[in-house]
Amino acid sequence: MTVYAIMGGTGLTQLEGLTITRSLALDTPYGPTSADIQVGEFAGREVLFLARHGHPHRVPPHQVNYRANIWALKQAGAQAILAVNAVGGIHMAMGTGHFCVPHQLIDYTSGREHTFFAGDLEHVTHIDFSHPYTESLREQLIGALAAEGCSYSSHGVYAATQGPRLETVAEIARLERDGCDIVGMTGMPEAALARELELEYACLALVVNPAAGKSTAIITMAEIEQALRDGMGKVKSTLARVLAG
């Protein structure tokens, strides 16, 4: 049976319904994880849970220790990662409260420790990253969203930006020209690191605001926080359906 890990993003620093049996503070060659890994029972099976931004939420996207997080999940026995991401909507279909299960991504980040293949190596390794998300895991998320009656898109291109600031109108226009549908700050290097360690990986993205220039209103944290509160119940029920399946 596949051992699942849930990577909680903004708005999901705790997994309601998770009966915690133990917490793991693992040493990694890359330093500490964002938070301890919680091990427990959720939807009738044992799962691992890690808060990407720490608990409480205090680690900004450009300072998340992605290498430590992914390494520790692998060390703890994870075989597949269900990553939850709060994103901005670029494509007109990606309104607030809409879900997207992206099939592709473009990395616009810089300066992040983005690979395990660094330092004193015996040989150079190049992973195939043509399709950054595991298709079978994507299909499970898509099926769960459909069964839950959520508004969702089964495909999309995720733009990973540096943060922690939000993007300018001109930057979003560029991302749209590049073919991006949603924009977030934590999709990379997380996905690539999971591939390097041969972990299955898929993203469940919740749109929490229109991207810059896609609305006449100013983007506020209050708006984003409300969208997170409104959407987290559906996130948890979707994850529970995947795990129960």
Could you tell me which residues are annotated as the binding site?
A: 10, 52-53, 185-186, 209-211
| Amino acid at residue number 62 | H
Query: What secondary structure does DSSP assign to 17-32, as a single string?
Result: T-EEEEEE----TT--
Binding site for phosphate: what residues are annotated? 10, 52-53, 186
- End-to-end CA gap in the chain: 11
Q: In sequence order, which residues have a C-beta less than 8 Å from that of residue 79 and are 6 or more positions away? A: 2, 3, 4, 199, 200
Q: Please identify which residue in the block is written with the tokens 């007109």.
A: 92
Residue 227 in contact with residue 97, Cβ under 8 Å? yes
Within 10 Å of residue 119's Cβ, how many Cβ atoms?
A: 7
Q: DSSP letter at 179? A: T
Rounded distance between C-alpha atoms, residue 100 and residue 109, angstroms: 21
Residue 191 corresponds to which amino acid?
A: A
Annotated binding site for substrate: 185, 209-211
> Which token pair is 65?
């220790």
Residue pointed to by tokens 């091990």? 39
